[in-house]
Amino acid sequence: MSKSEISFRDRPINLDESGSRKWVYAKKPKGLWYTRRTIFSWFVLLFFVAVPFIRINGNPLILLDIADRKFILFGAIFWAQDSLILALLMLSFIMFIILFTVTFGRLWCGWACPQTIFLEMVFRKIEYLIEGDYRKRHTLDDGPWTREKILKKAAKHFIFIAISLLMTNTFLLWFIGSEKWFQLLAEPIGENISNFSIMLVVSAFFYWVYGWFREQICTMVCPYGRMQGVLLDSRSVVVSYDYKRGEPRGPRTEGDCIDCRQCISVCPTAIDIRNGTQLECINCTACIDQCNSVMKATKKPPGLIRFDSENGIRHGHTSIWNTRNRAYSVVLLVLFSFFIYTLLSRPAIETTIMRTPGLLYQENEGTIISNVYNIKIVNKTHEEMPLEIRLISHQGEIRMAGSKMEISDQDRFESTFILYIDEALLDGDNTKVEFGIYSNDELLERYKSSFLGP
């Protein structure tokens, strides 16, 4: 086993023998796959920036309002009460990721993950522009602090900080919505000092990740990356080196690999794909482009490094379907069907009625007993509804606090009411009562609660 093979099995490739970080000076990729990836990244970036401003029925396309426990996905609002539907959606998504990874490896990482998109398509491109390609960057970093170096470093980091601030604010739009964001912007910073501080801390974190920590997120931190070992097998289609064609390697050997090491120089995680599929490979395809250009120069067919499975290289077997991903597809289909069913069958409104905490019962004129309740109703339709609450289990009277009950589309109504019942109708000190929520005399929902008496 060669020294490089031993070291790649022994420790992460971007650490030296003492455990210190080795800075990766990746060569700027060039080629058909890189062009495809760049175009795809424009769509991902556009989606990321545009989503909070796209409206469906007046709601943002996606809103993840954790503070209010309100989630909007493609115009449909989900409240905390919809946790089963959200859990099914989440499970379907996880199952989809597993299925996708089993079949295509870390394709997501190289092509759609925000970490890669921002690092490779935004921050790294700025670095290429200001500091040049890998050799120039290496020389600049190793050289003395000249006027040129100070200017280049200052310009790069200034732009990195500005982009980190923009990124944080765009993320914020996904969580608080554009209206609230513009409202915060119009208010003095002093009134929102905590929000402003959080924004600065998150921006500083992004700046640290993209300015310094970089590929270590993919190789050491990301849990999805760590899962590759259990998800991939010999049938998964990943970026692979065709060792049957390439070996024995060397400039004057029979194998097609001339051992130029260009595929390593272009790799953003600095690995040698010729050692086989590795956890650090994010399937970015930079080595495919680089090797294809070497093959062209040496008048060999392209594809020495390509998307293929271990089985594909060893036996020429190319089908992506196997028992494992068929079984995962069935599970995904079941989960997703269940999600669609629960989504379509969810009630028009969802009511919660609870006696006001800390209050027992009140004795009124004659033999009338009263209890105070808090009511919360969520409207899951796109219609504005007049609402009415009636007691359907007993004879009694309901007096609402405040104005009439009305709820706008996909909104929430919260109020308090007092229920009066004659003591003679009670079953003791704790009587089960049932309410009905009506809209235009149509019963929408029944809700059971308790009524305390003497």
Query: Could you list the residues that contact ligand SF4 (CB under 6 A)?
Result: 239, 241, 246, 257-263, 266-269, 271, 273-274, 281-287, 290-291, 294, 304-305
* Token couple for 187: 């208010």
The smaller minimum CB distance to ligand SF4, of residues 9 and 390, is found at 9
**In contact, 119 and 286? CB cutoff 8 Å:** no
Long-range contacts of 195-201 (CB under 8 A, 24+ apart): 199/165, 199/168, 199/169, 199/172
Least distance in angstroms from the C-beta of 49 to ligand SF4: 26
Q: How far apart are CA 278 and CA 262, in angstroms?
A: 18
CA dihedral 50→56→62→66, nearest 10 degrees, is 130
Least distance in angstroms from the C-beta of 265 to ligand SF4: 9
Least distance in angstroms from the C-beta of 285 to ligand SF4: 5
The smaller minimum CB distance to ligand SF4, of residues 89 and 263, is found at 263
Least distance in angstroms from the C-beta of 293 to ligand SF4: 8
Q: What are phi and psi of 437, to 5 degrees?
A: -105, 120
Q: Which of these, 382, 393, 386, 407, lies nearest to 436 by C-alpha position? A: 393
Least distance in angstroms from the C-beta of 271 to ligand SF4: 5
Q: How far apart are CA 34 and CA 40, in angstroms?
A: 10
The smaller minimum CB distance to ligand SF4, of residues 172 and 305, is found at 305
Least distance in angstroms from the C-beta of 126 to ligand SF4: 20
CA dihedral 377→379→385→389, nearest 10 degrees, is -20
**In contact, 214 and 118? CB cutoff 8 Å:** no
The smaller minimum CB distance to ligand SF4, of residues 73 and 121, is found at 121
Q: How far apart are CA 301 and CA 312, in angstroms?
A: 17
* Token couple for 346: 């969810």
Least distance in angstroms from the C-beta of 325 to ligand SF4: 21
The smaller minimum CB distance to ligand SF4, of residues 263 and 349, is found at 263
What residues have CB less than 8 Å from 371, skipping those under 6 apart? Answer: 355, 359, 361, 362, 418, 419, 451, 452
The smaller minimum CB distance to ligand SF4, of residues 34 and 361, is found at 34
Q: How far apart are CA 86 and CA 83, in angstroms?
A: 5
The smaller minimum CB distance to ligand SF4, of residues 13 and 349, is found at 13
Q: Which of these, 215, 223, 224, lies nearest to 270 by C-alpha position? A: 215
Q: How far apart are CA 101 and CA 238, in angstroms?
A: 9
Hunting for tokens 């899962």 — which residue is that? 227
The smaller minimum CB distance to ligand SF4, of residues 248 and 386, is found at 248
The smaller minimum CB distance to ligand SF4, of residues 109 and 173, is found at 109
Least distance in angstroms from the C-beta of 354 to ligand SF4: 54
Least distance in angstroms from the C-beta of 290 to ligand SF4: 5
Hunting for tokens 């000249």 — which residue is that? 146
The smaller minimum CB distance to ligand SF4, of residues 127 and 350, is found at 127
Please tell me whether the peptide bond between 251 and the residue prior to it is cis, using omega within 30 degrees of 0: no
Least distance in angstroms from the C-beta of 123 to ligand SF4: 17
Least distance in angstroms from the C-beta of 304 to ligand SF4: 5
The smaller minimum CB distance to ligand SF4, of residues 44 and 86, is found at 44
The smaller minimum CB distance to ligand SF4, of residues 228 and 285, is found at 285
Please give the sequence-ordered ranges of beta strands (E in DSSP) within 278-405, or none if there are none: 305-308, 349-355, 362-363, 368-379, 385-386, 388-391, 397-400
Amino acid sitting at position 292: N
DSSP state of 21: B
Least distance in angstroms from the C-beta of 27 to ligand SF4: 10
| CA of residue 54 relative to chain centroid, distance | 18
Length of the chain: 454
